[in-house]
Amino acid sequence: MKVPYPEREETVIDNVSPTYIDESSIHGFGLFAAEPIRRGSVLGTLDGQIMSWDHYHAVRAALTLPSEARDYLFLEWNALAPDTLLVRAFRTKYSYINHARQPNVELRSRPLEVVALRDIVQGEELLLDYRKEPLNEEYLIGHGSTYL
């Protein structure tokens, strides 16, 4: 299969497979199934460093990166609790999964895994309901309010 955006594939960590990055009708770029995926399949395990929201904001404020680097070196995260995040310093394929209220993948914890909720056909965009994470109130009324 020809990868639509090889430059994006080469600069992100492949932690959700079998997938590829392509333009999304939902928002910017998305993550798509490279082959049929069966319901219940584990597509990837998410790792990172555990930190508080306050620590996360302090680290982000201290980062001064040129704009070209910000697309690949940034703090990607998952909420583990309203005051605790799992943070990754490098961009991964997971970051390309867009939000939808009718998702086809979900996160399951211990370890934090991306799991197919139903059969997914080749070429279908992977979608996650971000509201299922234990997001804090600040995020829900701030940045998250624009799309959740």
Q: pLDDT of the chain along its 148 residues, tens only?
A: 667 777 777 888 999 999 999 999 999 999 999 999 999 999 999 999 999 999 988 988 888 777 666 666 677 899 999 899 999 988 899 999 999 999 999 999 889 999 999 999 999 999 999 989 888 888 778 877 777 7
**What CATH number is given to the structural domain containing 124?**
2.170.270.10
Provide the domain limits for residue 139.
Answer: 6-146
Residue 109 lies in a domain: yes
- Give the number of domains in the chain: 1
Residue 27 lies in a domain: yes
Return the DSSP state at 144: G
Residue 1 lies in a domain: no
Sign (positive/negative) of CA torsion 108, 114, 119, 124?
A: positive
- Chain-centroid distance of CA 131 in Å reads 13
DSSP alpha helices (H): ranges in the chain? Answer: 6-10, 53-62, 67-70, 137-141
Q: How far apart are CA 130 and CA 98, in angstroms?
A: 9
Residue 136 lies in a domain: yes
CA distances for 63 relative to 4, 57, 134, angstroms: 31, 10, 26
Residue 49 lies in a domain: yes
- Rounded to two decimals, what is the model's pTM? 0.87
